Amino acid sequence: MNEFHLTEDQQDCLQELINIAMGQASDQLARYLDTFVYLKVPSIESVEASELMITLSQRKNTIAVVSQGFFGYEGIRGESLLIYQEEDSGRIADLLGYEPDELSQDEQLIDISSILTTTFLNVFAQQIDNQLSYNAPKLLPNVQEILSEHLQQMPFTWNLALKVNINYQVTDYSFNCNMIILIPETAITNIKYVLDRVLEEF
């Protein structure tokens, strides 16, 4: 237990905010994708940096990671990582409503990642009266070797990461990916402050 750990109340509050955000985001997505989207309740866990490194390096069939930075008021900032397994990425073009030959596999992954990240985080930001800006999403090259290197070379040190497992199932095909939101130490302090304020307002 250290100063970056969330209290039980803060943890519950964050979970609730994320649930709401995910619900609204998936509703928007379903309308945008113009298809029935079945969304499981997102599983959310906060993981420590060291733990995350081990989990990620154990995944053998990761084919792509798309990273996107975000930043908002009150020192809320971080980076989202969307992680795709080999079997996840077959029909993203269909899901997005593109013709497969209109864009490369890389661009499909980047597009869907950006939509998932920004839709979710925008709604989340609204919940806490904030507004986020985003960096352009980036596909990390040579995922296998690069992921742990990338995590070590982040422009900030981070101790806590929020892992949000998103599982979308669409009628004709399934689509899965993991979203991991990395939050730097300083931003955690700010989030705790915001969570306390939200708790007070209840």
Binding site for other proteins (CB under 8 A): 28-29, 31-32, 73, 96-99, 102-104, 106-107, 110-111, 114-115, 118-119, 122, 125-126, 129-131, 133-134, 136-139
Least Å distance, CB 82 to other proteins, is 14
Closest approach of other proteins to the CB of residue 16, in Å: 20
Closer CB to other proteins, 55 or 114, in the complex: 114
Question: Shortest distance, CB of residue 120 to other proteins, whole angstroms?
Answer: 9
* CB of residue 77 to other proteins, shortest distance in Å: 16
Of the pair 137, 184, the CB lying nearest other proteins is at: 137
Q: CA 4 → CA 48, 73, 109, distances in Å?
A: 10, 19, 33
Please give the full DSSP string across the chain, using - where no structure is assigned.
Answer: --TTSPPHHHHHHHHHHHHHHHHHHHHHHHHHHTS-EEEPPPEEEEEEHHHHHHHHHH-S-EEEEEEEEEEEGGG-EEEEEEEEEGGG-TTHHHHHT--GGGS-HHHHHHHHHHHHHHHHHHHHHHHTT--EEEPPPEEPSSHHHHHHHHHHT-SS--SEEEEEEEEEEETTEEEEEEEEEEE-HHHHHHHHHHHHHHHHH-
Q: Is 30 exposed, middle or buried (0-12, 13-18, 19+ CB in 10 A)?
A: middle
Task: Give the nearest distance from C-beta 101 to other proteins in angstroms.
Answer: 10
- As a whole number of angstroms, the distance between CA 28 and CA 186 comes to 31
CB nearer to other proteins: pick between 13 and 115: 115
Question: Taking the complex as a whole, how short is the minimal distance between the CB of residue 1 and other proteins, in angstroms?
Answer: 33
Which residue, 114 or 174, has its beta carbon nearer to other proteins? 114
125 or 188: CB nearest other proteins: 125
Which residue's CB is nearer to other proteins, number 12 or number 102? 102
